[in-house]
């Protein structure tokens, strides 16, 4: 009956430090957020003790009368949050997280080595959309399926729908995937639907990043056009770490069977409860106001960075994030990320169109969901732009003070050719 503090002070202390870190700086990682006390209460509840393989009313274990109620409530709220008709759409709330959810969709709809097409990772797509490099198939989505990613138009920083269409008509994927992890613009779902229909493919949207904005009608609605929609629940949605798969009713048995028994065992009922209470919050006017503010803040930050002379991919944003191209400043994303860490601003390095090195991407991704939860408005985000501006100046000063001198000094020390080549790429 001891609290964590009493039972394990060493671990308690680490978590307290992480809490201080999270609340003690400017959190700009586009995929992160601060979830509520109510969600945390669900995560730490007795629901974590229960096994409940199967679906509500059809379980492989006894004692599931309350678990059934939790999961059914979560399903109903999920459909309601996205305004979906239960006759036409089904939902599975059991996926442990976004990556398994996507693989579950592929398992349901594809045979091994069938083809998929999603946005390339260096263009902002996610690993699970079929990513591989010239050297290696890194993601299970490219190991078990054949993938041909589509790209951005390098000039505009937007998806090149014409090239996508040409490529799709040659490659004939069975699933066309849209949605991304680092794309600052909305999607042309009508065009994607037409392409998918022309080639007889399923259209899948992975709205992990921006599902909270979709449910609040701040972005266009993929459900009008897609066969399957997946989302994580911990990004703009602000819930616990989990995921949801929405599917057209006729795919119900295949999707449910892919989640369990094909890929998962017992559902994480404490997470499902956390998702359920977060979906209740999504339906409130307060949350919708939050979603609108996320985008207003994103635009305010983007405008201020542009007026300070910086370059954003596609010259702005429609959603909760922007991609900042640091190549005009002569900085890499790695360096800027480190300097920001040192001044308590958290963001992440990210590739930008035209990057030549995956090791040292030329930009960073910046998002507003977390700090909007903490109450920041457009004026506050203009101030954030000036903190970032200062961090750029510091980065340039560090580069100026150490870069050349150190490189000249090290150049005099003999080293092998491979290391020399790597250093040239990285520094």
Q: Which of 50, 53, 160, 292 is catalytic?
A: 53
CB of 378 to ligand PLP, least distance (A): 25
C-beta of 179 vs 333, nearer to ligand PLP:
179
Contact between 84 and 249 (Cβ < 8 Å) = no
- Say whether 53 is catalytic: yes
Q: Are 28 and 374 in contact (CB under 8 A)?
A: no
- Those residues whose C-beta lies under 8 Å from the C-beta of residue 282, and which sit 6 or more positions away, are 77, 81, 212, 215, 216, 237
Q: Is the backbone of residue 53 left (phi > 0), alpha (psi -120 to 50) or beta?
A: beta
Burial of 257 (0-12, 13-18, 19+ CB in 10 A): middle
Q: Is 206 a catalytic residue?
A: yes
> In this complex, which beta carbon is closest to ligand PLP, that of residue 206 or of residue 325?
206
d(CA 224, CA 226): 6
Contacts by 107-113 with C-beta closer than 8 Å and gap 24+? 107/258, 107/262, 107/263, 108/251, 108/254, 108/255, 108/257, 108/258, 108/262, 109/174, 109/175, 109/202, 109/228, 109/251, 109/254, 110/145, 110/174, 110/175, 112/144, 112/145, 113/144, 113/145, 113/146
Active site residue 232: yes
Pick the catalytic residue: 32, 206, 318, 355? Answer: 206
Q: Taking the complex as a whole, how short is the minimal distance between the CB of residue 234 and ligand PLP, in angstroms? A: 7
Contact 180, 209 (CB under 8 A): yes
Catalytic annotation, pick one of 76, 137, 241, 280:
241
Please say which residue, 75 or 233, places its beta carbon nearer to ligand PLP.
Answer: 233
Residue identified by tokens 């305004």 is 83
**Nearest approach, Cβ of 307 to ligand PLP (angstroms)?**
29
Q: Is 60 a catalytic residue?
A: no
* Tokens matching residue 406: 């150190």
Q: How far is the CB of 302 from ligand PLP (least distance, A)?
A: 20
Name the residue nearer to ligand PLP (CB basis): 181 or 317.
181
> Which CA distances in Å does 300 have to 29, 126, 207, 215, 384?
17, 26, 23, 22, 10
Q: Which residue is nearest to ligand PLP (CB)?
A: 98
Taking CA atoms, 336 is separated from 324, 370, 391, 406, 424, in Å, by: 11, 20, 8, 19, 18
- Provide the binding-site residues for ligand PLP, judged by CB under 6 A: 31, 97-99, 102, 126, 128, 179-181, 206, 208-209, 232
Of the residues 115, 193, 235, 365, which is catalytic? 235
Which residue among the candidates 232, 277, 368, 372 is catalytic per the annotation? 232
344 counts as catalytic: no
Q: Which is nearer to ligand PLP, 137 or 241 (CB)?
A: 241
Active site residue 235: yes
> Minimal distance in Å, beta carbon 278 to ligand PLP?
15
Least distance to ligand PLP, CB of residue 236, Å? 11
Distance in Å, CB of 243 to ligand PLP, minimum: 6
Between 64 and 94, name the residue whose CB sits nearer to ligand PLP. 94
Just list the catalytic residues.
51, 53, 206, 232, 235, 241
């Amino acid at each position: 009956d001891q609290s964590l503090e009493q039972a394990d002070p060493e671990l308690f202390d680490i978590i307290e430090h992480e809490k201080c870190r999270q609340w003690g700086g400017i959190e700009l990682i586009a995929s992160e957020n601060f979830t509520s006390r109510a969600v945390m209460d669900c995560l730490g509840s007795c629901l974590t003790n229960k096994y409940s393989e199967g679906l509500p009313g059809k379980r492989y274990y006894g004692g599931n009368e309350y678990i059934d109620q939790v999961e059914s409530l979560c399903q109903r709220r999920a459909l309601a949050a996205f305004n979906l008709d239960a006759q036409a759409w089904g939902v599975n709330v059991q996926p442990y997280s976004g990556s398994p959810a996507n693989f579950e969709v592929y398992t349901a709809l594809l045979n091994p080595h069938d083809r998929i097409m999603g946005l390339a990772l260096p263009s902002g797509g996610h690993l699970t959309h079929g990513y591989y490099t010239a050297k290696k198939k890194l993601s299970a989505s490219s190991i078990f399926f054949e993938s041909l990613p589509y790209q951005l138009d390098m000039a505009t920083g937007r998806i090149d729908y014409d090239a996508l269409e040409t490529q799709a008509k040659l490659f004939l994927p069975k699933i066309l995937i849209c949605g991304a992890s680092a794309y600052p613009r909305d999607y042309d779902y009508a065009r994607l639907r037409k392409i998918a229909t022309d080639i007889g493919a399923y259209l899948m949207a992975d709205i992990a990043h921006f599902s909270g904005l979709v449910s609040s009608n701040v972005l266009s609605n993929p459900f009008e056009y897609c066969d399957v929609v997946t989302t994580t629940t911990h990004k703009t949605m602000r819930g616990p770490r989990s995921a949801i798969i929405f599917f057209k009713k006729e795919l119900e048995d295949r999707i449910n069977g892919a989640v369990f028994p094909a890929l998962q065992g017992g559902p994480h009922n404490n997470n499902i409860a956390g998702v359920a209470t977060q979906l209740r919050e999504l339906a409130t006017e307060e949350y919708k106001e939050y979603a609108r503010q996320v985008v207003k803040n994103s635009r305010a930050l983007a405008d201020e960075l542009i007026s300070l002379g910086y370059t954003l991919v596609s010259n702005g944003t429609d959603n909760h994030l922007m991609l900042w191209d640091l190549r005009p400043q002569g900085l890499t994303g790695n360096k800027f990320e480190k300097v920001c860490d040192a001044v308590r601003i958290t963001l992440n390095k990210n590739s930008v169109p035209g990057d030549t090195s995956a090791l040292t991407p030329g930009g960073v991704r910046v998002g507003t969901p977390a700090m909007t939860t903490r109450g920041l408005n457009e004026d506050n985000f203009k101030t954030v732009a000036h903190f970032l501006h200062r961090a750029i100046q510091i980065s340039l000063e560090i580069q100026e003070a150490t870069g050349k001198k150190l490189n000249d000094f090290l150049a005099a020390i003999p080293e092998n050719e491979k290391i020399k080549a790597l250093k040239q790429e990285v520094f």
